[in-house]
Amino acid sequence: LAEEVAAGRLQPQQIDEALLASRVALADLPAPDLFIRTGGDTRISNFLLWQLAYTELWFTETLWPEFDAGVLQQALDDYAGRERRFGLTSAQIADKATESSSA
Which residues form the domain of 8?
1-30
What is the total count of domains within the chain?
2
- Report the predicted TM-score, pTM, of the whole model to 2 decimal places: 0.78
**Same domain membership, residue 38 and residue 85:** yes
- Indicate if the pLDDT at residue 67 is higher than 80: yes
- What is the reported pLDDT for 100? 84
Query: Average pLDDT of 53-68?
Result: 97
Q: What is the CA radius of gyration of the chain?
A: 19
pLDDT value at 3 more than 90: yes
* pLDDT confidence bin for 98, thresholds 50/70/90: confident
Q: How far apart are CA 45 and CA 57, in angstroms?
A: 13
> Do 54 and 13 belong to one domain?
no
Region at 86 (left for phi over 0; alpha for psi -120 to 50; beta for the rest): left
pLDDT at 27: 92
